[in-house]
Amino acid sequence: MGAGTKITIIGGGVTGYPAAIKAARMGAAVTLIEKDLLGGVCLNRGCIPTKALLHAGEVLHTVKKAGDFGIVCEGAKVDFKAVMHRKNAVVQQLRIGVERLLKAKRVRVVQGTAELADATTVRIKETGEKILSDCILIASGAKPARLNFEGCDGPDVLDSNQVLELERLPKSVVIIGGGVIGVEFAQIFSGLGVQTMILELLETLIPGADTEISRALEGSIQKSGTRVVTQAKVEKIERVKGRNTVSYTVAGQRQTVAAEKVVLAVGRQPDLAGLGTERIGLAQQKGALAVNGRLQTNIPHIYAAGDVTGGIMLAHLATAEGECAVSNALGAGGHMSYKAVPACVYTSPEVASVGLTEEEACKRHDIIVGRFPFHACGKAQILDQTYGMVKIISEKKLGGILGVHIIGPQATNLIAEAVLGMTLEMTVEELAHAIHPHPTLSEALMESALTLCGGAIHLP
Annotated catalytic residues are 438
Beta bridge partners of 400: 427
Cα 282 to Cα 302: distance, rounded to the nearest angstrom: 9
Q: Which of 66, 288, 263 is nearest to 175 (CA)?
A: 263
Q: What angle do CA 214, 219, 223 make, to 5 degrees?
A: 145
Biggest alpha carbon–alpha carbon distance for the chain: 72
Taking the mean position of all CA atoms in its chain, how far away is CA 335?
23
Q: For residues 350 and 405, give the distance between their C-alpha atoms in angstroms, rounded to a whole number.
A: 11
Both ends of the chain: CA-CA distance in Å? 61
DSSP state of 145: -
- CB contact at 8 A, 422 and 428: no
Instruction: Report whether 411 contacts 344 (CB < 8 A).
Output: yes
Cα–Cα dist 449/426, whole Å = 11
Strands of 19-171 (E only): list them.
Answer: 29-34, 108-111, 114-118, 121-124, 130-132, 135-138, 142-144, 157-158
290 Cβ contact list (under 8 Å, min separation 6): 283, 284, 297, 298, 309
Contact 429, 454 (CB under 8 A): no
- Give the residue among 220, 216, 146, 219 at the shortest CA–CA distance from 176: 146
Indicate the burial class of 245 (C-beta count within 10 angstroms; 0-12, 13-18, 19 or more). Answer: middle
Cis peptide bond N-terminal to 207, omega within 30: no
